[in-house]
Chains A and B, each alone.
Chain A
Amino acid sequence: MIQIENLHKKFGKNEVLKGVDLNIDEGGIFAVLGPNGSGKTTLIKSTLGMVIPNKGSIAVSGMSIKKNWRYRKDINYLPQIANFPGNLKVRELIRMIKDLRQMHSEEEKLIQLFQLEPFLGKKLSTLSGGTKQKVNLVLAFMFDCPLLVLDEPTTGLDPASLISLKELIQKEKENGKTILITSHIMQFVAEVAEEIIYLLEGRIYFKGSIEELKTKTNQADLEHAIAAIATIPTYV
């Protein structure tokens, strides 16, 4: 699904990605983990073409993403910070994105699921952080695309919505989709993810299943395993 080869990215003097090689197969849930500033968002934004890499190549569904924009039809992206144009109403925003994608969408069900009906006529600038994140989720899940990229999907959600989100992710997985998630909440990762990609200092430090990670670090739970991973020699 995604092939990344020797990816380098610098922001000024700050070298964020230092040669990332990554192969993500079709189907399944992959969690990209790593401490703050390890390059998770940069990696995701490079795959989306929002950040232009200095070196290296990325291919999505076999297509190189360089000077290409059509491949983004296959991707649903949930940005980390829900930055929406504040002067739009929720309904207008959803209609606009639908108009842009020209695809079949299922926003009705999602709006019901996250109980967004009372907010549809409100402006985005007046919404709370959690509600904004729900709108964000609706926009990300309403199209039927083979690849889902979720950057910190849990921020600001209440427990009920969190459960809905988990169900939603499981359902998408059963439909055979590839899902890429970044999160700092290990409990959430342990529940949904199948495979872990651990980024540290701009390189991939570990890639494998949760079980592999636990046995290699000799830790019983994921949180401690992730905390321990950086102190142990590389596993890749």
Chain B
Amino acid sequence: MNIIIVLVPLIGTIFGVMYYYNSKEFIELLLAQPIKRSSIFLGQYLGVAGSLTLSLVLGLGIPFLLYGLFKSDAIFDFALLLVTGAFLTMIFTALSFNIALSNENKIKGFGYAVLLWLFLAVIYDGLFLMSLIIFKEYPLDTFSLAATMFNPIDLSRTLILLKLDISALLGYTGAIFKQFFGTNQGLIISMLMLLLWTVLPIWRLVFISKKKDF
């Protein structure tokens, strides 16, 4: 599970950047044709994100189906894993397209994209833990909840972790998180947050693509 949550964004990021730079000529060819700019870029984005999502869902889904998923009770948790995985793919492909669009230099674009993944997957957690240690005298419930919300990887991880009923391992914080994420309201808010994480980069993608020179 943890591997999926960390690897899926990495694959989305790398594929997004690579695909954009590889299809630059194609984009230039299409731009001279009577097609709307937003259609070109949204089409490219959906092409990459869609196929990555599909391969994730099929690649994880088929083995589990064969394993006899429908007979077990874990189907809801598993569906949640797939949904968050799909969201993560969409989010990170959109973010990497944004980076690639804003950087003409391929190496720079690649660097920024990998850095973004590294930041959200590893460094963010480190900073988060550090801040919890430094401010341990204060009540941190709301802060940690909010900080989790602002990182799609953390958000997905927490969401799944708490669905798997291992929150008892996390002690008091786990209880608070359980109280929030375990309820339907918490689930809806987190899903909305993931949706926002998807929509905002896509919106920016369309916005900068309209202004860019080729």
Listed in ascending order, the chain A residues whose CB lies under 8 Å from chain B are 11, 45, 48-52, 69-73, 75, 77, 79, 83-86, 97, 100-101
Q: Which residues of B contact A69 (CB under 8 A)?
A: 34-37
Q: Which residues of B contact A97 (CB under 8 A)?
A: 29, 33
Known: A51-B213, A84-B29, A85-B23. 11 other contacts (CB 8 A): A70-B34, A71-B34, A72-B32, A72-B33, A79-B29, A79-B32, A83-B24, A83-B28, A83-B29, A86-B25, A100-B34
Within 8 A of A (CB), among B1-56: 23-26, 28-37
Question: Is B211 among interface residues, defined by CB-CB distance under 8 A?
Answer: yes
Q: Which residues of B contact A72 (CB under 8 A)?
A: 32-35
Question: Is B214 among interface residues, defined by CB-CB distance under 8 A?
Answer: yes
Cβ B32 vs Cβ A48 within 8 A: yes
Q: Which residues of A contact B26 (CB under 8 A)?
A: 85
Cβ B211 vs Cβ A79 within 8 A: no
Q: In the complex, how many residues of chain B place their beta carbon closer than 8 angstroms to a beta carbon of chain A?
A: 19
A210–chain B nearest beta-carbon distance, Å: 29
Listed in ascending order, the chain B residues whose CB lies under 8 Å from chain A are 23-26, 28-37, 210-214
Give the residue of A45, A83, A84, A101 whose beta carbon is less than 8 angstroms from that of B33. A101
CA distance A145 to B214 in the complex (A): 23
Cβ B28 vs Cβ A79 within 8 A: yes
Give the residue of A51, A75, A77, A83 whose beta carbon is less than 8 angstroms from that of B25. A83
Can you give 13 contacting A-B residue pairs, CB < 8 Å? A11-B213, A48-B32, A49-B31, A52-B210, A52-B211, A69-B37, A72-B34, A72-B35, A79-B29, A85-B23, A97-B33, A100-B30, A100-B33
CA distance A86 to B28 in the complex (A): 13
B48–chain A nearest beta-carbon distance, Å: 15
B89–chain A nearest beta-carbon distance, Å: 23
Q: Closest residue of chain B to A73, judged by CB?
A: B34
Residue in A71, A84, A85, A101 with the greatest tally of chain B CB atoms within 10 Å: A85
Q: Closest residue of chain B to A53, judged by CB?
A: B213
Q: Which residues of A contact B36 (CB under 8 A)?
A: 69
Q: Which residues of A contact B210 (CB under 8 A)?
A: 52
CA distance A75 to B31 in the complex (A): 12
Q: Which residues of A contact B211 (CB under 8 A)?
A: 52
